[in-house]
Amino acid sequence: MIDDDELACLIVEKMMHKIDPNLTFIACENGKVGLDTLFENKRDNTICIIILDLNMPVLDGWGFLDVLKTSNFNDDKNLALYILSSSTDKRDIEKAGQYPIVKKFYHKPLSIEDIIEILNF
Amino acid sequence: MASVNNTFEMIKYQDIKKPLSVAILEDNEADFILIEDYLIETFKTVQIKKYSFFKDLKAHINTQTNTNIDLILLDLNLPDLSGFALIQQILSENIHVPIIVLTGYADLSLAKESLKLGVDDFLIKDEVTPGILHKSIEFAFSRSQYVNYIEAQNEKLRNIAWTQSHIVRAPLARILGIINFIETEKYNPKDLEYWLKKLKVSSDEMDAIVRKITDEAQEIQLNKYNE
């Protein structure tokens, strides 16, 4: 989960562990840390779900998506990316639609149903 | 928002201290002299700059940080550019000053069309008198001032909308998230105390943001043309 809001990460982590106690949850405080973590940890056969916030310092969600677009993760079948933003701005939602890698745009906060949906991708 | 209801105060150009600086784009010497005379007659202090070619005005705009042009009087037939293309080019320079087209009967339909593009007024050369020119200039100033004001206000409203979406929703989403989480948890008094504390922090943050937005919204009021 790439989000500078620690509390948001903590809540998602706790809710995810409730559904699946065995998953590995990594919280990254910005897009840069997110990229580093992804490149370090993602192996071809590991299933990876990215929950991406938009507004972040250092490298924001759009910057993260731009880097990802040019990487070989772009068409990795074992990778699912979701945007999770507090923004309800239409322009953000439209912009997100221009990145094929984005599976869905969620508004904060995630409900337990959303989390189940995400984990069953 | 009460401030939006304020009436707009018309300010005549003559109320403004600095002299009026007019760029006349006109290649016909006789027409230029006539307009120059009218301007001198009706405005006490006026600076006039003549440009026979569009490219000369463009060069002036592109090289000066302060163009020192308050108004453009535009003939639609210049040697290097004319008609529709000329209007488009001059508007694309984004100089944010009133533009009044001066034209003959032949270009009347184009002149009318130019109003839709963003030109402030047009005058038929054969019908221009000092009084008509003066009135047209004053009117163009009021209008462009009003448009500038509306644009500035729109910008502020857009910022407020952005803030609502991004900044206000952040702590609110956190509050909702905490509540979601508490609901799914089994009751544990020690945990609950922690989450209540977090709820308080986010609520206070949101309160501060809402107050700030209210202040900003109240700032939206008429900025008088007081340069």
Taking contacts as CB-CB distances below 8 angstroms, the residues of chain A near B209 are none
Whole-number pLDDT of residue B224: 42
**Per-residue pLDDT tens over the stretch A7-33:** 889 989 988 998 899 999 999 999 999
Q: Binning pLDDT at 50, 70 and 90, where does residue B15 land?
A: low
**Per-residue pLDDT tens over the stretch B203-213:** 998 898 888 88
CA–CA min distance A71, chain B (Å): 29
Whole-number pLDDT of residue B12: 56
Which three-class secondary structure state does DSSP give residue A119?
helix
Domain count, chain A: 1
Q: Is the pLDDT of residue B2 over 50?
A: no
Q: Binning pLDDT at 50, 70 and 90, where does residue A92 land?
A: confident
CB-nearest to B166 from A5, A7, A86 is A86
Q: What secondary structure letter does DSSP report for B44?
A: S
Q: Is the pLDDT of residue B159 over 50?
A: yes
Residue A119 lies in a domain: no
Structure tokens at B101: 């087209």
Which three-class secondary structure state does DSSP give residue B97?
coil
Residue A66 lies in a domain: yes
Q: For position A64, which CATH number holds?
A: 3.40.50.2300
**Bridge partners, B20 (sequence order):** B46
Q: What secondary structure letter does DSSP report for B107?
A: G
**Per-residue pLDDT tens over the stretch B99-127:** 999 988 888 888 888 999 989 999 999 99
Tell how many helices (H) and how many strands (E) occur in chain B. Answer: 7, 5
Most A CBs within 10 Å: which of B169, B182, B198, B199, as the mutation test of the A interface? Answer: B169
CB-nearest to B180 from A7, A86, A111 is A111
Structure tokens at B34: 């006539």
> A81 lies in which domain range?
6-109
Whole-number pLDDT of residue B192: 85
Q: Is the pLDDT of residue A54 over 80?
A: yes
Residue A121 lies in a domain: no
Q: Binning pLDDT at 50, 70 and 90, where does residue B16 land?
A: low
User: How many Å apart are CA A46 and CA B174, to the nearest integer?
Assistant: 30
Residue A120 lies in a domain: no
**Per-residue pLDDT tens over the stretch A33-44:** 999 998 888 777
Across the interface, do B177 and A109 touch by the CB < 8 Å criterion?
yes
β-sheet with B121-124: strand ranges across: B46-51, B20-25, B71-75, B99-103, B121-124
Q: Is the pLDDT of residue B7 over 60?
A: no
Q: How far apart are the first and last CA of chain A?
A: 16
Residue A58 lies in a domain: yes
Least confident interval from B41-50, B65-74, B88-97, B183-192: B183-192
Residue A63 lies in a domain: yes
Residue A82 lies in a domain: yes
Q: pLDDT averaged over chain B?
A: 84
Q: Is the pLDDT of residue B1 over 50?
A: no
Backbone angles phi, psi at B221, to 5 degrees: -150, 180
The residue-averaged pLDDT of A89-111 equals 89
Residue A90 lies in a domain: yes
Residue with tokens 């026979």: B52
